A and B are shown apart, each in its own frame.
Chain A
Amino acid sequence: MRDNDVRNSAGSSLSRRTLLKATAAVGAATTLGAASKRSAYALPTYLQGTSLVIAMTDGDAPKAQPLIDDYAKANNVTIEVQQNPYAALQQKLTLSLTQGTGDYDVVTLDDPWMPQFAGGQFLMNLQELMEKKGEKVDPDFIPELLALGDFPKGSGLRGIPWVGNVQVFAWRSDVLKEMGIELPKSWDDVLAAAQKITEAKGGEGLYGVGLRGQAGNPAATSFLPILRGYGTDLFNDKWEPQLETDAAKKAMATTLALAKVAPPGVENCDHATNGRNMYSGVTAMSGDIWPDQLLQIYDPSVSKVVGKVDIGGEPAAEGVKPANMTGNWLLGIPEGAKDPDAALAFITWFTAPEQQKRLLMDQSIPATRTSVMTDPEAVAKFPFLPGLLAAAKNALPRPRTPSYNAVEAVYGQYVAQAIAGQVSGDEALANANKDITDIMVKSGELKQ
């Protein structure tokens, strides 16, 4: 696929080959563990000696720990990091934040959770906090990502992004080349290619496509880019669910056909399994690959496909603007936090350019600041950063409604049922449409 470096449509194009090289470099960077400058940041004396409790996912906590240790040491601050798996973190935050228990001073939040937490005003308005202290939000943050922390739009910032994740389409360039398959542009192309690959190589344990079929967030996250690739979304402007449209039906048919040529076990496949299937050479393509998985794909100690995987924007039908989904993580302060000033000081420090750069260089966490993404040293090391920046600027978040968690649980459940063969695709869509309508009516977002 040497001559197909750029998916050419709109401004969302990622330079595919550079991305590839860069991700390889990312892998190398982790192994080298490049050291970087320590920030000489000192807290005002009145904040010295305070203590903070931070809630993070167990995936991110180890990566953030070295920075947190430095901060704690430099400022005589005690910091306790509580780590939880993704789903458990979501549950605990939902319970803890709504109860206003003051369990946490700083929390990290996945961007689809923001409307629920920010909309319910369970998080402090960081903008107000800053203005009180005469500070301002740094315009250096990528505005599109910063906007994820503002819900309802214009009500003030309640989260500051620190992980600039986007979902990407990944494929085995060696397999496509060997089989003479052109890089798929639309999901129809992906299906055709996947069928061809599974048919030819399924016997040897190589399958055309990987997707997640586990009920809830996993199935939903694999299905949404396909839905969008057919030119529709979960909701229209009036918050009416769009799952009974022709486009949705086509997306569902494609999803089910893809599941048939996915590796066995697709029905229970989750994020980690989908990544493992990619790096262990079981799948040839997947539209549901995230930066953390790219690291494994390019880590020679686990991956069997180092240097064989390219990544780019999500496929889209002709005339449909392709978009990569955001999966940013934001830092916020729950209402009821014991010491908001100390918490804000930490967030400000943690998302400052030096720390962002250190996270990028040492831990390969995509930055959320323009200056870091265009930093010459960083770009020299990761040549894909401008491309990723462009993708981030063009990326689409999941539907921004406080009910998104419930909505996702519902359509993620029905999509999974369809993939498992419990109901037909059309039934699944009709059921999901009905249940989502109920949720939106109940929450008052949809008037009937």
Chain B
Amino acid sequence: MATADPSLSRQHLDEPGPTAAPAAGEGVPWWERNLAWLLVSPTILLLVVFSLIPTVMLVRFAFSNVKLQRGGFGVDPTGFDNFVRAFGDPLVRDAVGITLKWVAVVTTAEVLLGLALALLLAGGVRGRGVFTSLLIIPIIMPPVAVSVAWLFMYEPNFGVFNYLLNQAGLPSVRWLSDKSIALYSMMAVDVWQATPFVFLLLYAAILSLPRDPYEAAAIDGAGRWHVFRTVTLPLLGPVLLVVVLLRLIDAARAFDKIFVMTRGGPGTSAYTMTVTIYNEAFAKFDFGYASAISFLFQIVMVIVGTVYVRRALADYSAPAE
């Protein structure tokens, strides 16, 4: 029991073991002896109720033709039919590509912009307190409110963007209705909202970096880029990983903005996985098929996530004294 998992070696309060009493020996009440288990049990209970049970139901649906019938869901097992259909469905194939594109572009843009901003401000800028306060606005704004604000700025006939373009002598752009532009227009909204979040995390991290390595680098006469690469980036590494992880997760789940702004349009050109699943489930009411796609999506997320979470966890819990 006490054999050490190196990644958790920092905890020394747990000696001599989780189920034993700390010092007092016999006479310690049971809840004190099992405190750790008691503390994690609500989390486990909620995980079972809100994750395990729904997942089991989801899997059952995925292998069935689910009919809405009197008294509830009618579930006829159909084996792998739904999965076979999913692999041949151009909508699903497109959705995979669109989702990947969304996740890649949005995460890259947000992390790069957020990092650049953080470095910029950490370098000393007047009024940065005000600036960080202002940047909180997008983060905490309800995505629905953000979407409606942008929706009307993008509006082709009365919107402010086209007005400004026209004023500058440029032709109008069909921001949300041209299939080669709309997805990027919506990505811009996400970047607008989430970059400040990335910025705040990285900015705080940069401010709390130790000074010594920088002083050493300054003595060596290292250039700015060199310092960034050899000192800042490695020190920021763990934080960056966490930030990227958080953004990846949220980007893959993107729904609100696309749903409010174009409902996945024009046509189906912004049907991400989530929009596709929503549509199969709540427009076509094909819960079996929707569950199958959801299940596949979940598997991919878990595989990608496992690699990533393990990495992040390892970094997270590694000793850093």
Contacts and interface: CB of A to CB of B under 8 A. Distances in A.
Q: Do chains A and B touch in the complex (CB under 8 A)?
A: yes
Interface of A: 87, 91, 94-95, 98-100, 120-122, 205, 213-216, 263-268, 277, 282, 335, 405-406, 409-410, 413, 416-422, 442
Q: Which 5 A-B pairs have the closest CB atoms?
A: A420-B267, A267-B266, A420-B266, A98-B68, A264-B156
Contact of A215 (B174, B263, B285): B263
A213 B70 CA distance: 34
A268 B152 CA distance: 13
A264 B177 contact: yes
B269 A422 contact: yes
B320 to A, nearest CB: 49
A416 B266 contact: yes
Interface stretch (B127-135, B240-248, B276-284): B276-284
B262 interface: yes
A264 B177 CA distance: 8
Given A99-B72, A405-B284, A263 B156 contact: yes
Given A265-B174, A405-B284, A409-B284, A420 B265 contact: yes
A406 B286 contact: yes
A122 B70 contact: yes
B157 A264 contact: yes
A17 to B, nearest CB: 30
A323 B50 CA distance: 50
Given A94-B285, A215-B264, A265-B155, A422 B179 contact: yes
Nearest to B162: A264
Interface in B32-74: 65, 68-73
B202 interface: no
Interface of B: 65, 68-73, 155-157, 172, 174, 176-179, 262-269, 279, 282-286
A413 B89 CA distance: 14
Contacts of B285: 94, 405-406
B266 A213 contact: yes
Given A87-B283, A121-B70, 8 more contacts: A98-B73, A214-B263, A215-B267, A216-B283, A265-B176, A421-B179, A422-B267, A422-B269
A405 B283 CA distance: 7
A215 B268 contact: yes
20 contacts: A87-B283, A94-B68, A98-B72, A100-B72, A120-B68, A215-B263, A215-B264, A215-B267, A216-B283, A265-B157, A267-B177, A268-B262, A268-B263, A335-B70, A410-B284, A413-B267, A413-B279, A416-B265, A420-B179, A421-B179
A94 B157 CA distance: 36
